[in-house]
Amino acid sequence: MTGTLTSDTEVRTVRAGRPGPGPVRCAVGDLLLADLPVSVVFFHDGPLDPDALAAGLARALGDLPEFAGRLRTAPDGELWIDTDDSGVPFTVADAPYTLTEAFDRMALPAGGLVDHVRATEARREPLPLLTVRLNRLTDGGCALGVSWHHAVGDMQTFALLMRAWSAGTEGTAPPAVVRAPDRDAQLDAHLPAADCGTPALRLPAPAEAAELRRAVAGASLANRTVQVWFSPAETARLRAAHSADAGRRLSANDALCAHLLHVLREIDGAGDEEQTLTMPVNLRRVLGLPDGALGNLLGEIRLPYRPGTAPAEYAAELRTAIEEFTEKHLSVRSNLRFLEQVGRDRVGECVPAGFDPGRRTLTVSSWCRLGLQDLPLAGRLPLAFSPAATLQLPWTSWLVEGPRGEGHLYTLVLPARAAAKLRTAADLLHPHRRADDPRPALAPRKLL
């Protein structure tokens, strides 16, 4: 590890000390996400030892060298990860916030708690694929901001890094990691011969492509981030009510997704229009891949919410879609056929079918049940965990466990007018909340 020190900020580079086993050829799923960073923050109600963190991270990078590598675009357009141990910038800095104030900044695109990976530039320049920032707060707590390049992997891949990092600081056994030098080939070996027949990506017409570029360029000005908390008891009541109305057992995710889209339709006046929910699905569970497989092993369900549909009815439709995913929603082979038709070199022009802000298509990514709040770092468990605002793309959202792993924290990005309406819709959001329901362990002012 090397570093420089100023009066209140230290920046060092953390390395495993050895290169990885060799370059990794990215899959189509990685290419589709190769312009996106993903950023999160872990909140701790006490200090973390930066030296112990750095040493543990160095051990973790030995198990997952992709995070310490660099991207390389080959002349044929293929994207590779060179596991060359170029390293991870690790910053330690004082931040002028209390723990509650820091948590409140999660809704700000320039919250200052994360050094967001420069994803687009990293495809052309040897830039880091992972950054770490330890913010020392004024009340003795800290906020650990982590950002990684989406081409390296999805949330399950990041969870493997965090388990390895925790093992590196606590002296426990690291997780089993399954890497493949050719990610497309690895996935192909587990795919059925046929899928749903409809690709999950599309090539927008020039006018729509220009509109999408404008939406991305103006995202931080046009959109706002809102966070909503549902207590464990409130979620249980919502789930029970929807299950009773639907006449079948539903998951908390089914009930919450249906409820949230229903609320958004109500405040946005979409009663007579169809609106689609897109939900990413972990292909490891669907296809029998090991939990330790790296990459963006994601499919998606796109389910229209039709006018007149009751929330419980929609929750049941979502449950059925999950059960029938392989037959009716799996689209990996269809994606490959689509790229063969338009030319694989045009993958950068394609967008996921579920990204359609013009039609208010809502994407809900569930990051629950990954156990991230059960992982100690340098002897201390996090008090809370949250996505951090990055590109502020409209109609994108994330569902995670709430502070101390209790309840659900829902983070969503909306056009400014819709966000303002949602902030005054407490009765619609919380019909199952009771006055004696406890507040979360960490509750900023703007949490709904």
Percent residues over pLDDT 70 in the chain: 98
Give the E-state strand segments of 45-166 in sequence order. Answer: 70-73, 79-82, 88-94, 130-136, 142-149
pLDDT at 353: 87
CATH architecture of 188-367+392-429: 2-Layer Sandwich (3.30)
**Region 275-281 average pLDDT:** 95
pLDDT bucket at 6, cuts 50 / 70 / 90: very low
Residue 1 confidence class, pLDDT cut points 50, 70, 90: very low
Give the per-residue pLDDT at 7: 42
Any idea which of 10-24, 50-64, 348-362, 428-442 has the lowest mean pLDDT? 348-362
Least confident range from 132-146, 170-184, 315-329, 386-400: namely 386-400
**pLDDT score, position 132:** 98
Report the alpha-carbon distance of residue 150 to residue 158 in Å, rounded: 10
* Alpha carbon distance 159, 147 (integer Å): 13
Higher pLDDT, 357 or 246: 246
Find, among 271, 223, 218, 269, the residue nearest to 419 by Cα. Answer: 223
How large a percentage of the chain has pLDDT more than 90? 79
pLDDT at 3 over 70: no
Higher pLDDT, 104 or 67: 67
- Predicted confidence (pLDDT) at residue 4 exceeds the cutoff of 60: no
Q: Is 398 helix (H, G, I), strand (E, B) or coil?
A: strand
Structure tokens at 146: 């982590």
For residues 208-230, average pLDDT: 88
Angle at 336 (CA atoms; ends 332, 338), nearest 5 degrees: 115
Q: Please, which residues bridge with residue 90 across strands?
A: 12, 132
- Contact residues for 373 (Cβ-Cβ < 8 A; gap 6+): 381, 382, 384, 385, 401, 404, 405
* Pairing mode, strands 142-149 and 130-136: antiparallel
Q: Is the pTM of this model over 0.85?
A: yes
Does 245 or 5 have the greater pLDDT score? 245
Using only the alpha carbons of the chain, give its radius of gyration.
21
Residue 378 φ/ψ region, left for φ over 0, alpha for ψ in the -120 to 50 degree band, beta for the rest? left
Distance CA 230, CA 252 (A): 11
Count CB atoms within 10 A of the CB of residue 125.
Answer: 10
**Count of C-beta atoms within a 10 Å radius of residue 392:** 20
Mean pLDDT confidence for 222-226: 91
pLDDT for the residue 215 = 84
Listed range (26-35, 117-126, 151-160, 208-217) with the worst mean pLDDT: 208-217
Count of all residues that appear for the chain in the document? 448
Residue range 406-431: mean pLDDT, rounded: 94
The pair phi, psi for residue 92, each rounded to 5°, is -120, 125
DSSP character at residue 316:
H
| Domain range summary for the chain, segments of one domain joined by + | 2-184, 188-367+392-429
Strands (E), 150-233: 201-202, 223-230
Residue 54, pLDDT score = 98
Give tens-digit pLDDT for 137-157. 999 999 999 999 999 999 999
Cβ 14 vs Cβ 58: under 8 Å:
yes
With bands split at pLDDT 50, 70 and 90, how would you rate the model's confidence at 218?
Answer: confident
Tokens for 366, please give them.
Answer: 């569930």
Q: Which tens digit of pLDDT belongs to each residue from 74-128?
A: 888 889 999 999 999 999 999 999 999 999 888 787 889 999 999 999 999 999 9
Which of 363, 353, 359 has the alpha carbon at shortest distance from 270? 359
d(CA 363, CA 106): 19
Matching fold, domains 2-184 and 188-367+392-429: yes
285 contact partners, CB below 8 Å, separation of at least 6: none
- CATH fourth-level superfamily of 2-184: Chloramphenicol acetyltransferase-like domain (3.30.559.10)
332-351 per-position pLDDT tens digit: 999 999 988 988 888 888 88
- The reported pLDDT for the residue numbered 110 is 80
Residues facing residue 401 across a β-bridge = 408
Q: What is the pLDDT of residues 287-308, one digit of tens each?
A: 999 999 999 999 999 999 999 9
When pLDDT is averaged across residues 46-74 and rounded to a whole number, the result is 97
